[in-house]
Each structure stands twice: as C-alpha cells, then as structure tokens.
Amino acid sequence: MDHGIDPADFAHGLCNHMAQTATTFPSGGTTSSRLQPKDLLQVGYSKVCEDESIVGGGSTACVAVAESNGGLTVAK
C-alpha cells in the first residue's frame, strides 16, 4: 500500500478472470474435455499477468469444480 499498489487487486482479478472463464466454458463433453481446477487457475493467473491494470499483489487460492455426478476436483 505504501507504494500505491492494492495487493487485493491481484486476488480480485484472479477470481474475476477464473469466473469469466468458467462461465464461458462449454458444458458436457468427455472427462478429458471438462473444466479442471488446475487449468482454471492457470488461465486466471495468465490473464492477471496480462492485465495491465493489475500492477502487483498476491493470493493463495483453492479452486474446486463440482461434477453433476457428485464428484469434486480440487486444486490449490
């Protein structure tokens, strides 16, 4: 904060980019083509790094994807 950087911008950007990716991801498909939390984290992180409005910050993250069959996949 002393340097004019809000560290929460990174975490908020990460969550926003992951949410945007998840909502536009096609549903259905085979197990290998389903949304995976590890991939969602990677896409969110890559988009945060490309986002020029986010100049710094950091975050921990735990992302889970619930399946229609009751399964849950988690990445952190």
Q: What is the DSSP letter of 70?
A: S
Q: Which residues contact 49 (CB under 8 A, 6 or more apart)?
A: none
Secondary structure (3-state) at 73? strand
- What does the pLDDT average to over 53-58? 89
pLDDT score for 58: 87
Q: Which residues contact 62 (CB under 8 A, 6 or more apart)?
A: 74, 75, 76
Kindly report, residue by residue over 8-54, the tens digit of the pLDDT.
Answer: 999 999 999 999 999 888 765 555 577 899 999 999 999 999 999 99
pLDDT score for 68: 82
Reading the block at residue 57, the tokens are 């910050």
Kindly report, residue by residue over 60-69, the tens digit of the pLDDT.
Answer: 999 999 888 8
